[in-house]
Structure 1
């Protein structure tokens, strides 16, 4: 074979387009949901969901998704990646229908969990197929396009969700997934080649069960503590029990000869460092996205469509800068690009700590734009570094680790920052609720959505309650944003200490024998 010969599939760019559509349906759903949270909390036009139930509507998806990614990655490698992509799309479409017609928050949470099953079958095989059909020399560019698709979904989702909520009932934000899924199924069937791992791994059933139980218990404790207080034994039993189960999961995986998560990989800096920064960034970013929608729609009074349009600077930055990130990495090295991206993200998240009810909206737009630029220059170099640490036929391992860490961190970010938001809000608004009836006091003290719903029944006293709720929410938002900035800043330390610069192995190169953890995985 000539050194210059391209080993990629002849239809690789068309295949990438199909994979982008498959990816869009997964990311689109979550970005639409962010805009719909306010409506879902409305007892008249939505489901009357509490803040905890809204957090679970996000986290039931992400935790199931994360818990099954490794298993479905292995099953996809064994049974066929195209087949699993089709199965995932169909499941996702069916779960979208169930979500659209949910009659209670509990039904929505369950339907979203089923969505997580479909998403877990879709996401890992998209990166695996990219690694399989592209020549290593083109893989960085392809991954940049793949990452840019996330930005496209971020751009489309809030605007589409806002437009649907302006004209239709809340279930339309889930129903819109169905035609996208149908298109994806047809194109995948026609264009995507089947591929398998020649030496597939075994399914780690015990590891999956331990990880899911541990994550659900930990997340339950954090969310319930934030919503009802951390002074109850059940909260700490869930948190400590979840941590104990997760510790048992790590110990089990270290001894297993077919681990779903090979913890030996985390001893290798060029693999572990980018995984860590992915987790830190998404922990912070998803928590901030959770409260920013309430800030825009309630504190600032924007409609769902206007809120979706206000997220455009973040999305535009992703679309413009993510595809160019691979070229920046080649020129300056992954460490430099990721450091600058993290610094911009820290600055943006810290900016939210100074935003209040009277801040000019253009300042908020600049903050969103900076966050988009920063994240656009973090994800592509991190993903490429993760994927290039393993040989092509084991791409499923890299994609599963990357996406699992991202989803787990997102769930914990929503849970932890949501709990901080809830706890600070509850403490600050309490003095303004003392003269309200018991039922109204409980509803208004639970969340800013509850306060607005209560204010609608108070008559002349409503403006005073709304002002107190806005002030308490903004103060809580400041604490949550500051914590998010601190967590992201830890990523800078990780990058400077452990992430390789230009000396990293080229994409697609086999793992060096000097690194037994990677060599063993290969």
Structure 2
């Protein structure tokens, strides 16, 4: 039965999502400032961004399972407390590694809080209202893309880069107080703990994501190979243990549901595609088009506005079209947006970029309500935390792999596009090239570097378009046709079966 305070609860959960979603976008906008003021190298920036993802993805499944057992609201509040505290510590960072550590702590807080947002939605809304609730939840995530950078841009114009982390603090405090006052506590059936499953899950996921992140920079080094070996052994041992345990932390039969697996992996391909594209866009706006931080923040507004509008359209069309149709068509539209983005040249200006952002936003708005409806209907309420965590882990793993792989493609393609006479100091990144051009007074070097970066960004966007098409094909092959996806049947011990 739907909870009487469900819509107030949705407002609180949207606030929590806002805290989590604005953080990465603010940092993407602040990348040039970080490299200049903190003395960060491109590798440092990569780790500042990826430390969050590493810890987040590593702890999600464990945190989701524990929230089912000990209370989802409790873990929501714990996560906000950790994230807010880490944000305060980040403002005091003086070295890149200080910020990496703070970002890792933020990832831990987000891992505690994020699964609870979806699992509480599953608990307080019935199937007839979940699509509408998830559409609102998704819109707030897109609002964070614009609201975070706009607030961050204001701070970056008047204060040092560390001020952007203060945005999280009041939002976290509001979320904690509102969760205490409004959000009902919920948990799954009591069952024995699974300490071995916890240890294997954290070890396997953390080492896997670390290896993915390190691969573009370190190559197939001994440390990367060792990390991959540990990850494979730990995850295989985890799968064997969970399949034989009477009270598994993660019931592997969840993956036997075509809708759950299909929607999760399609979303992972989309996250793989968008992660590096967003990172490239912030540099394009500021260092190719010459926008300041505030203008760059507002330049992304068409994306968020299109997503917000077509989330409503997607939720409305879902009454007539199946979730499968919405997901497949939405991802194909997203692919078209990335293809348009790949055609942009150095002298095209902002208008073609606006068109591509709107097209990507339209596709995201169409696909998101259907994808989340499939996922939420496939997860039984007693397994809401761990089910949501598995989905988030798959998506965050896709983003980590995308940032690492496509980020590596961006760097390699940029260096390859530069003519041989360009000095080595300008080959590492566009930021270094523009600094060298300023120091030497060479306008030719600056123009050459910008052209090389746009060429590299086009290659990344074409790759992202292909991945979006692959996600659409995968969704077409796996998702069922009915608009409502039957949930996995429940078992007495709280486990799930197909």
- Tell me the TM-score normalized by structure 1: 0.89
Compute the displacement of 1:242 (Å).
4.0
The aligned runs of 1:382-393 (5 Å cut-off) are 382-393=371-382
Bigger mean CA deviation after superposition, 336-345 or 238-247 = 238-247
Compute the displacement of 1:403 (Å).
0.9
Whole-Å Cα distance in 2 between the matches of residues 263 and 67 of structure 1? 18
Whole-Å Cα distance in 1 between the matches of residues 171 and 490 of structure 2? 41
75 and 329 in structure 1: CA distance in 2 versus 1, 3 angstrom threshold: same
Bigger mean CA deviation after superposition, 243-252 or 472-481 = 243-252
Residue aligned with 1:408, SS: helix
Answer whether contact 2:272 2:403 (CA < 8 A) is retained: yes
Q: Show the counterpart of 2:428.
A: 446
Q: Show the counterpart of 2:222.
A: 237
Compute the displacement of 1:471 (Å).
1.5
Compute the displacement of 1:504 (Å).
4.6
The aligned runs of 1:323-402 (5 Å cut-off) are 323-402=312-391
Compute the displacement of 1:510 (Å).
4.7
Q: Show the counterpart of 1:486.
A: 466
Q: Show the counterpart of 2:440.
A: 458
Whole-Å Cα distance in 2 between the matches of residues 332 and 115 of structure 1? 39
Whole-Å Cα distance in 2 between the matches of residues 367 and 385 of structure 1? 27
The aligned runs of 1:296-335 (5 Å cut-off) are 296-335=285-324
Compute the displacement of 1:262 (Å).
4.5
Structure 2 residue 46 is the aligned partner of structure 1 residue 66: no
Compute the displacement of 1:206 (Å).
1.7
- Tell me the TM-score normalized by structure 2: 0.93
Q: Determine which of 465, 489, 493 is the counterpart of 1:511.
A: 489
Whole-Å Cα distance in 1 between the matches of residues 325 and 292 of structure 2? 40
Q: Show the counterpart of 2:182.
A: 191
Residue aligned with 2:277, SS: helix
The aligned runs of 1:194-343 (5 Å cut-off) are 194-200=185-191, 202-203=194-195, 204-222=198-216, 224-225=217-218, 230=219, 235-256=220-241, 257=245, 261-343=250-332
Compute the displacement of 1:254 (Å).
2.4
Cα deviations across residues 94-137 of structure 1 (Å, max 9, x unaligned)?
11112222111111111100000000011000111111111222
Answer whether contact 1:166 1:304 (CA < 8 A) is retained: yes
Q: Show the counterpart of 1:471.
A: 451
Structure 2 residue 398 is the aligned partner of structure 1 residue 409: yes
501 and 239 in structure 1: CA distance in 2 versus 1, 3 angstrom threshold: farther
Residue aligned with 1:456, SS: helix
Compute the displacement of 1:429 (Å).
2.4
Answer whether contact 2:383 2:495 (CA < 8 A) is retained: no
Answer whether contact 1:254 1:264 (CA < 8 A) is retained: no
Answer whether contact 1:57 1:108 (CA < 8 A) is retained: yes
Structure 2 residue 475 is the aligned partner of structure 1 residue 498: no
Compute the displacement of 1:505 (Å).
3.0
Bigger mean CA deviation after superposition, 203-212 or 87-96 = 203-212
Compute the displacement of 1:239 (Å).
4.4
Answer whether contact 1:131 1:392 (CA < 8 A) is retained: yes
Compute the displacement of 1:520 (Å).
3.8
Compute the displacement of 1:66 (Å).
0.9
Q: Alignment length, in residue pairs?
A: 489
Whole-Å Cα distance in 2 between the matches of residues 295 and 503 of structure 1? 40
Q: Show the counterpart of 2:9.
A: 15
Whole-Å Cα distance in 1 between the matches of residues 450 and 18 of structure 2? 34
Answer whether contact 2:58 2:201 (CA < 8 A) is retained: no
Aligned-residue Cα RMSD (Å) equals 2.0
Answer whether contact 1:253 1:260 (CA < 8 A) is retained: no
Whole-Å Cα distance in 1 between the matches of residues 312 and 344 of structure 2? 30
Runs of 5+ unmatched residues, structure 1: 1-6, 435-440
Compute the displacement of 1:238 (Å).
4.4
111 and 397 in structure 1: CA distance in 2 versus 1, 3 angstrom threshold: same
Residue aligned with 2:137, SS: helix
Structure 2 residue 69 is the aligned partner of structure 1 residue 95: no
